[in-house]
């Protein structure tokens, strides 16, 4: 199997000192409570990039923005351009400016207009297609603007409705390798009928494990969710388990803490 290529560059952001005030309530019964643990887990994910010689750009934290480490929500990068989003949670919109400025140093940036909302966590960019999830954070207006942006890149565009138990699309739907989707139980059986991919379903109790981050032949997976690791091994890749317990308490996952640029970008 040909795996996804390694990113050339990533943008991330330090964990806010107000971490314990981060939004939460979807993935854990525990509230974010340990800023030091969040910083340690964040650093370990970034180390997986640097040990593979991937360029890492780390923006300073905004200590007035508890969720600022979750940079993925602020943009969708496709075909050498970035779509700068307007987040669905009003309390997070102040995070956007430095992230969008950093993107502008590397790629053309197209900004959302009007009052639509879109979180990057609701968008899965594949080799030739883009899947967007309609959710409590992503509106129809936001989806329409993203569709225009995506179709200009030559990618196909697919819309699915995110189940109510999940905050975002890619919280419970990612792609460990080209031609494969890893999803949790809870999606309608027909949700991905028009996406050309083999579907791997995880048990509902393992839903958090459906968020994985491919790095070539290695795939970062959340520690403690063996069903995801098993799928990764079955398709011929190597799972790299990482402790995400504290990040999870703020509804975050492996992909949330970086924006990734590839050769085609």
Helix (H) / strand (E) element for 140: namely helix 140-151
Can you say whether residue 80 is alpha, beta or left, with left for phi > 0 and alpha for psi between -120 and 50 degrees? left
* CA-to-CA separations, 1 to 124, 125, 165, 239, in angstroms, rounded: 20, 19, 33, 15
For residue 104, what are the domain limits?
A: 9-261
| pLDDT at position 262 | 93
Flag whether 53 is in a domain: yes
Q: First vs last Cα of the chain: how many Å apart?
A: 23
Low-confidence ranges of the chain (pLDDT < 50): none
CA pair distance 246, 239, nearest whole angstrom: 20
Q: Residues 118, 85: contact at Cβ < 8 Å?
A: yes
Flag whether 22 is in a domain: yes
CA dihedral 38, 39, 44, 50 (to 10 degrees): 140
Flag whether 1 is in a domain: no
Flag whether 3 is in a domain: no
CA pair distance 265, 263, nearest whole angstrom: 5
| pLDDT at position 30 | 79
Q: Report residue 261 CA to chain centroid gap.
A: 13
3-class secondary-structure state, position 137 = coil
Flag whether 4 is in a domain: no
74 is catalytic: no
Flag whether 94 is in a domain: yes
Catalytic residue from among 24, 158, 168, 180: 168
CA pair distance 159, 131, nearest whole angstrom: 6
CA pair distance 77, 184, nearest whole angstrom: 24
Flag whether 24 is in a domain: yes
Catalytic residue from among 42, 68, 173, 256: 256
Tell me phi and psi for residue 173, to 5 degrees: -160, 110
pTM of the complete model: 0.96
256 is catalytic: yes
The residue to which tokens 């899965």 are assigned: 124
| pLDDT at position 95 | 97
| pLDDT at position 35 | 97
- We report the CATH number of the domain holding residue 167 as 3.75.10.10
| pLDDT at position 28 | 66
Number of structural domains in the chain: 1
């Amino acid at each position: 199997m040909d795996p996804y290529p390694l990113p050339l560059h990533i943008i991330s952001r330090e964990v806010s000192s107000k971490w314990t005030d981060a939004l939460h309530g979807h993935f854990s019964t525990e509230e974010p409570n340990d800023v030091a643990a969040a910083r340690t887990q964040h650093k370990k994910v970034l180390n997986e990039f640097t040990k593979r010689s991937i360029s890492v750009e780390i923006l300073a934290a905004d200590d007035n923005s508890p969720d600022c480490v979750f940079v993925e929500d602020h943009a969708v990068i496709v075909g050498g351009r970035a779509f700068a989003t307007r987040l669905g949670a009003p309390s997070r919109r102040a995070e956007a400016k430095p992230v969008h400025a950093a993107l502008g140093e590397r790629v053309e940036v197209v900004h959302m207009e009007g009052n639509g909302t879109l979180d990057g966590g609701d968008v899965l960019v594949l080799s030739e297609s883009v899947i967007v999830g309609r959710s409590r954070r992503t509106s129809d207006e936001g989806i329409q603007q993203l569709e225009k942006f995506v179709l200009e890149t030559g990618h196909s565009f697919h819309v699915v409705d995110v189940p109510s138990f999940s905050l975002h699309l890619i919280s419970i739907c990612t792609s460990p390798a080209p031609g494969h989707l890893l999803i949790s139980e809870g999606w309608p059986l027909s949700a991905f009928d028009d996406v050309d991919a083999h579907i791997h379903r995880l048990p509902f109790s393992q839903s958090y494990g459906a968020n994985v981050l491919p790095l070539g032949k290695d795939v970062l997976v959340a520690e403690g969710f063996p069903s995801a690791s098993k799928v990764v091994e079955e398709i011929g890749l190597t799972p790299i388990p990482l402790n995400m317990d504290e990040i999870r308490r703020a509804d975050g996952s492996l992909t949330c803490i970086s924006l990734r640029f590839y050769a085609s970008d």
